[in-house]
Structure 1
Amino acid sequence: MTVERLIAKNKIHHRFVSPDALIATAILVLRSAKAGAIAVSSDGKYLVGIISEHDIVAGLSIHGSTVLKKHVSDLMTEDLNRTGFAGGSNS
């Protein structure tokens, strides 16, 4: 699925974060976007997952404050079929 299609279909914010970004960075992007979830993409075009406030809170409960130094790929949701965001792979 492309980031563009996800945004159009689900009306999520147009910002995205790299899977290699730190959780601390993702929090700043979420806050500045005033969004509860943002797309995760390596190239800004194809979706590899989403990172949500829920993912971060779950990570915080497991890892404590060290979660801020983890990567987005450690906590992001990759199975978009479970989220309702799926529309087919790379479509």
Structure 2
Amino acid sequence: MLMSPELVAEINTLLLFNVADPQEGIKIHKDADPALIAAAGRLHDKGLLSQPDGGYLTLLGREAAEHLHMARTIVTSPPQASSVS
């Protein structure tokens, strides 16, 4: 199953957060990309963001963002040489 554009926008929104600093939030301005504004609203409705325009990650949002950051690191890493024993 492919991801919908809405889900991709939500993932990209969560990836904007610095998971190393839980006191660092984001502010999505009203003149931002409408897809980003809508994604933040949906994430807030799902309980992942503290505010509809960004704010801070909730505990659930932080966990989701950490997993997404890890997945991005894994899939963007250079291929490892396979070792056959």
Richer in helix (by share):
2
Higher RCO, 1 vs 2 (CA within 8 Å, ≥6 residues apart): 1
Give the TM-score of the pair, scaled to structure 2: 0.30
State the TM-score, normalized to the length of structure 1: 0.28
